[in-house]
Structure 1
Amino acid sequence: MNTNLMVRMFAGIFILVSLALGVPESPIFVSKYFLWVTVFVGANLLQSSFTRFCPLEMMLKKAGVREA
C-alpha cells in the first residue's frame, strides 16, 4: 500500500468515526464537538489539494511507506 492510498484510508476512517461520535442520532454518540474532527480533516484535504503539503503523508514517508 502506498502513501496516497493510506492518506485516503486514514481520512475516511477519521471522518466516519467522528460522524459516528458526533451525530446525536448515532448509537455511539459522545459529543457534538467530535464534528470538528470532520471539519479539520476536510479542510486539511482541501488545502493539501492546492498546496501538495500533507503532514500525514510526510509521517508515512518517514515511517518507510512507499510513495504513490
Structure 2
Amino acid sequence: MTVNEGLRAMAGFFVLLSLALGTWVHPGWYLFTAFVGANLLQSAFTRWCPAMAVLKRIGFRDDESVGRTA
C-alpha cells in the first residue's frame, strides 16, 4: 500500500470514528471530524500531511517508488 492510499484509508477511518463518537458519546467529537477535513483540504494544495511522515516511518511506500524493483 502506498502512502497516499494509507492516508486516505486513515482519514476515512478517523472521519467515520469521530462521527460515531459524536453521535453516541459527545458532540464535541465533531470538532475532530472538522480537523480531519481541514487537514485533507490543506494537503490537497500542499501535497503534505503530518500523517504522511508516520506512514512512511512504519513502512508504507512512496507513490514515486511504486513499480520500481530494488
Q: Same fold (TM over 0.5)?
A: yes
Deviation, 1:62, is: 2.2
Q: TM-score, normalised by structure 1?
A: 0.85
Tell me if 1:67 matches 2:65. no
4+ long deviations beyond 3 Å: none
- RMSD of aligned Cα (Å): 0.9
1:43 matched residue in structure 2:
38
Task: Indicate the larger mover: 36-45 or 48-57.
Answer: 48-57
Q: Name whichever structure is richer in helix by fraction.
A: 2
Q: TM-score, normalised by structure 2?
A: 0.83
2:7 matched residue in structure 1:
7
1:26 matched residue in structure 2:
none
Question: Share of identical aligned residues, percent?
Answer: 51
2:67 matched residue in structure 1:
none
Deviations 1:4-48 (A, max 9, x none): 11000000000001001102xxxxx11000001100000000001
**Which runs of 5 or more residues in structure 1 are unaligned?**
24-28
1:20 matched residue in structure 2:
20
Deviation, 1:63, is: 2.2
